[in-house]
Amino acid sequence: MELQIESSSGGVAITQKQKSVDPSTLFTAKDIISAIGRGFAPNQAFRLIRNADEIFDFVDLRLIFGHSDSDIRRVKSRVIGSNGKTRRLIEELTETSLVIYGHTIGIIGTFTQLEIARNAIQMIINGSQHTTVYKFLQRKRNDLKKQKLNLWKEL
């Protein structure tokens, strides 16, 4: 296996020299390396190995705000919140891991968890009040709990 990391953008390319390796492991390895490159601690990034249904994604704030450092700083501050409250609530209520690093916001979680976290981040980017975002997260958390209960009932 050959690994190429582009330090300026954080891009990762993995090429497989042997055909015996499961191709899905290459995607997982790429995601782990990308997650670490986006600021996740290795033990957080290894969630992608331990839990096969978890994925890594990130929001690139430069795609939204261009190179406006002041807007990027403002949004990063809003996502973090006072004493880290907003970031902590997003993580707790969606059961994801979040890292705000450079011009990106990285997220690790299941597809559903990631979607809820991304929506909450998008609400903050769009200027929603924190209380509105917290209520949205709590409502989604309750919906997830109801879905889990319904799964148990069906079994």
**pLDDT digits over 2-33, tens only?**
656 666 666 666 666 666 567 777 788 888 88
Does 70 have pLDDT greater than 90? Answer: yes
Structural domain spans, the chain: 2-154
Report the Cα 72 to chain-centroid distance in Å. Answer: 17
Q: Distance between CA atoms of 111 and 96, rounded to whole angstroms?
A: 10
Which CATH class, in words, describes the domain spanning 2-154? alpha beta
**pLDDT digits over 120-155, tens only?**
999 999 999 999 999 999 999 999 888 878 766 665
Q: Distance between CA atoms of 62 and 67, rounded to whole angstroms?
A: 6
What average pLDDT is seen over the chain?
87
Does 88 have pLDDT greater than 60? Answer: yes
Instruction: List all residues 6 or more positions away from 152 whose beta carbon is below 8 Å from its beta carbon.
Output: none
Backbone angles phi and psi of 111, in degrees to 5 = -55, -45
Judge if pTM exceeds 0.95: no
